[in-house]
Amino acid sequence: MSASTPRNDGPARPDGTEYPVQKPEADWAAELTPQEYHVLREAGTEAPFVGEYTDSKTEGVYSCRACGAELFRSAGKFDSHCGWPSFFEPLAKDSVVYLEDVSLGRSRTEVRCAACGGHLGHVFEGEGYNTPTDLRYCINSISLRMLPAAPQT
């Protein structure tokens, strides 16, 4: 778990502005399952290869499970075989915020929802995946909710 967590960090983003969606921790705890709360508010990690979106090929938009903000599109999802859903870019540059995470004794970049501050996962660069950005957003399925695209008629 990160030394920094949404639960402990309060309403401010890394740049000092406030998250638009704010609730008392008791409300987050009441609205989320214990596992969702652990990942989204305590910067936990779900087990690899068990998330509902790890292998999903469904077209649509992935939103924050805590607040509903749109975060990623299925067009930016790729198979990294790492055990968690992987994306090469967020829906928009301002849909996520980044924090340094040194909880494992090395520096990583944590990704949080820009609307509510919920922990999503981490982003890695330079791993050699054949993607347009050379980035891998490694995101916990439990942090997301998928809204499938409307069927084409």
State yes or no: is 116 an active-site residue: no
Domains recognised in the chain with CATH numbers: 6-47+59-146 (2.170.150.20)
Q: Which helix (H) or strand (E) holds 39?
A: helix 34-42
| pLDDT tens for each residue of 54-107 | 999 999 999 999 999 999 999 999 999 999 999 999 988 899 999 988 777 778
User: How distant, in Å, are the alpha carbons of 67, 79, 150 from that of 18?
Assistant: 15, 34, 33
Single out the catalytic residue among 64, 113, 116, 138.
138
| pLDDT tens for each residue of 16-36 | 999 999 999 999 999 999 999
Tokens read off for 108 = 């990583």
Quick one: 122 exposed, middle or buried, by C-beta within 10 A (0-12, 13-18, 19+)? buried
Q: In the chain, pLDDT over 90 holds for what percent of residues?
A: 77
Q: Which residues pair with 50 in a beta bridge?
A: none
Tokens read off for 144 = 């997301």
